[in-house]
Structure 1
């Protein structure tokens, strides 16, 4: 009931802005899963080897890495809203071009440019939402992006399943243009964020939008706080390179190491191996048929979606650290179960196959509850306004680099190490991720964005003057 009450207390525009921005996650999720279904038919039409399948799948992720590198700078220069509108529109365009591909090189080229748009979006959306949501619901609104992403993943699998009988991978890829077009129309109605307006010296616009988003706030005082924060830590008039140098030195070096490390662990622990290659993993477990290879992955993601909703309800009550650590712990247990299943599974069937399905389901639930939800929260919260886009860009670039690695090697790992060896590797990486988060992740629950920088400036601890007001059992960092 706490989240419901907070949402009732928020302005209609504030919730609309966060929801509309978060829906960009639908196109990210849809593309992630529908390529898994489409590859069952693309590989047959173009006679692709295992290595070629990995490259076709990963071409979009390579584009995402490059898009993420420039996403922060673009959103600072052009505005959060304008960049997101461009992302949605170009996603629709390159989805159609992917569907019209006449060869493997043309398909990889189209998917590379598709990845550029997605890479920009995963950087800009968390910043846009963080800067547009009230502190009391900011965590939930950021988690909403993961809700949209998982919804997109489910839609991608369901569309692939519905079209599997025809074998039409072109329709599977081209259908992504529909949500891209609809989301473009939705985003066109939104204002930009008050903090971006202040970065550009547009105080009147900032006051107008903040007053609409938080009608009960002391608008003049909050705008004054933003102005003071920008004056104290401003990078205006300096190059992006200068801002990057500031981000990777004291007092923000610890924050930079945290966001880059978190982004890397989010993907290197293997979630997109599950999303991209679920049909192949289910095949390795003895499943067959279109429902088993495409319908069951969708069912796994439905469980993941439920976990995201639980995370969204708890994130502004329970806190960021407990949710993230719990999710990673579930992933460790899931990996252990999958290792057991593949160790015993020389011939799958019956209870062993059911345990394998449960293992994949637990892996996905643990990820979406923890990493999947919280990466967007920390991407939007970790840095002060003038470094926020660049910090989000650094985190999500690291995330996508790890995604490239997983996408390029997973099928080969599955063939060479077997299922047991593959999930031993992912399990050890999840244990390392748990230790990393326990050591470095701050608890930012309920704090104003302008105050979070004090944590890093105080050497990775909250100043004593305000630490007691936000203490919980897992707030040690």
Structure 2
């Protein structure tokens, strides 16, 4: 079970690697192709358009052909997209390559947390889905490091072509993964599902009991298929709405503004180009280290406390950043204070809003509509990601960095109240129990009890 979940979670490395690499490469691409700030926004955000479409189709593809094939196909798309970017002679080829990478990332962010939640038991589920998020943070750090190393010579083609190597390795690893037992059972292949469960759990009685629960939920007389369930079952509409709300709020924290545009933010704070590149590496390092800490805390402290602490930390950090920028403070003290505020913000995101939103979205959907529900929340994530990343430089140009950071700080306060009012505690609760509580009409914040 652990090996299969870790292999699947490694998809997060690919997702994060591209984020880190494009942040460092963007300035060099803009220089070589004489790209305007608006075109640079599109170079970043076309990935989200691809991810939005990829996540939209991932539910149907994953439901029909299985999680393993969906994940393997995504790794091939990443390799093709990276090669297109690395060999680009015109900016349109970069846009096409990043669009393909975006489609693959949309598939990965849909498939990997869902696949992990179906492979692992309740006690391991939060830890392993958090590992996906941690490896995403590690990928961002590696991208920043590669950018820092290659930035001295302006070798942006090496930066954007780097994902080809891990994509090929993960593609080979996907061939060794088992099929999802829930997916097999949903297609009536119960004996195969039993065999996979026994292999994953290492205990025949536990595996058989889990399969019996899955069969019970599948045979409970509810409509089969996401759209049919959405039309007929209020409980499913509530779980889909919660998943969408979580993903929208995650993007409105402002995290991708910092991760995509960190070098530009720091250059605006009077860091030199090289200093900004290496300061950005520190942002990635904090993100990765906190991601590791989150793995150990998520199964010990639970979802709600960590998510609430995350919101408070992010709101305070961005409030400080907004104050520094809004008052136009100058000098080394102001520059270091802004850097510290961004690091605290990234740490706050990594401890809660980063890993836990993906964990919760994979836990709260019933088995009959799980593909559809997770697809809807993933689609919301990438749609909002595109909206934020495609407009950030333009918003800063109109409002200034101070008011922009203050706005994101206020949105994190909204996220805190959203968490306290609606988010359930699902630590160590089997997926089948969460589904039963949801169907019974319990308030959303109580379906994990």
Normalising by the residue count of structure 1, what TM-score does the alignment of the two structures yield? 0.91
Mapping for residues 399-414 of structure 1, pairs under 5 Å: 399-414=381-396
- Specify the SS of the correspondent of 1:252: helix
In structure 2, how many angstroms separate the alpha carbons of the residues matched to 1:301 and 1:110? 24
Shift of 1:245: 3.1
Mapping for residues 382-421 of structure 1, pairs under 5 Å: 382-421=364-403
Contact 2:247/2:381, CA 8 A, preserved across alignment: yes
Contact 2:81/2:96, CA 8 A, preserved across alignment: no
- Residue number in structure 1 paired with 2:284: 301
Given the alignment of the two structures, is residue 457 of structure 1 paired with residue 445 of structure 2, yes or no? no
- Residue number in structure 2 paired with 1:341: 324
Shift of 1:346: 4.4
In structure 2, how many angstroms separate the alpha carbons of the residues matched to 1:371 and 1:233? 35
Contact 1:283/1:293, CA 8 A, preserved across alignment: yes
Mapping for residues 19-418 of structure 1, pairs under 5 Å: 19-216=6-203, 217-232=205-220, 235-236=223-224, 241-246=227-232, 249-290=233-274, 292-347=275-330, 349-418=331-400
Shift of 1:341: 1.4
In structure 1, how many angstroms separate the alpha carbons of the residues matched to 2:445 and 2:177? 36
CA offsets 1:119-155 (integer angstroms, 9 cap, x no match): 1110111110000011111100010001110011001
Deviates more, 1:453-462 or 1:296-305: 453-462
Contact 2:145/2:281, CA 8 A, preserved across alignment: yes
Contact 2:230/2:236, CA 8 A, preserved across alignment: no
Going from structure 1 to structure 2, the CA distance change for 1:75 and 1:234 (only over 3 Å counts) comes to farther
* Structure 1 stretches of 4+ moved >6 Å: none
Contact 2:61/2:70, CA 8 A, preserved across alignment: yes
**Structure 2 unaligned residues grouped into runs of 5+:** none
- Specify the SS of the correspondent of 1:317: helix
**Structure 1 unaligned residues grouped into runs of 5+:** 1-13, 471-477
In structure 2, how many angstroms separate the alpha carbons of the residues matched to 1:344 and 1:256? 42
CA offsets 1:409-447 (integer angstroms, 9 cap, x no match): 111122222221110110111111111111110111111
In structure 1, how many angstroms separate the alpha carbons of the residues matched to 2:148 and 2:289? 21
Shift of 1:454: 2.6
In the alignment of these two chains, the number of paired residues is 448
Shift of 1:233: 5.5
- Specify the SS of the correspondent of 2:171: helix
**C-alpha RMSD of the superposition:** 1.8
- Specify the SS of the correspondent of 2:234: coil
- Residue number in structure 2 paired with 1:435: 417
CA offsets 1:312-365 (integer angstroms, 9 cap, x no match): 112112111111111111001101110121133343x21111110111001101
Contact 1:91/1:177, CA 8 A, preserved across alignment: yes
Shift of 1:460: 3.6
Shift of 1:457: 2.3
